[in-house]
Structure 1
Amino acid sequence: MRTTCEGCGRQLGAVGDAWICSFECTFCPDCARGANSTCPNCGGELVPRPKRIKA
């Protein structure tokens, strides 16, 4: 799990808001909105990263 935005370099916590594509390119909400929820690296859809639950 990546902890920095690939767009602006902002730190993203494991619990915080992050948006990912199917290749796990990772962006902060601001960069994801700026890219219209389309990954600038691969063209895939950016969606909110699922939250992890304790096993």
Structure 2
Amino acid sequence: APFPMAVCELTNLTTLLISDNRITHLPPEIGNLANLRELSVASNKLTVLPYELTKLTRL
């Protein structure tokens, strides 16, 4: 399932719970979520995570 790109524009988002959604990849733009403190991606179809997640220092 595709990841909804509009989520990457929610720069004040602090929690993103997207487990069990058959997501196949996360876009590099997820690195725009600078205020993200919690991310749950369990039980999806991800094989790699984008490098840009390393920019999210509040996780």
With the shorter chain as reference, the TM-score category is under 0.3
- Larger RCO: Structure 1 or Structure 2 (Cα < 8 Å, ≥ 6 residues apart)? 2
TM-score, normalised to structure 2's length? 0.26
Q: Which has the higher helix share?
A: 2
TM-score (norm 1): 0.27
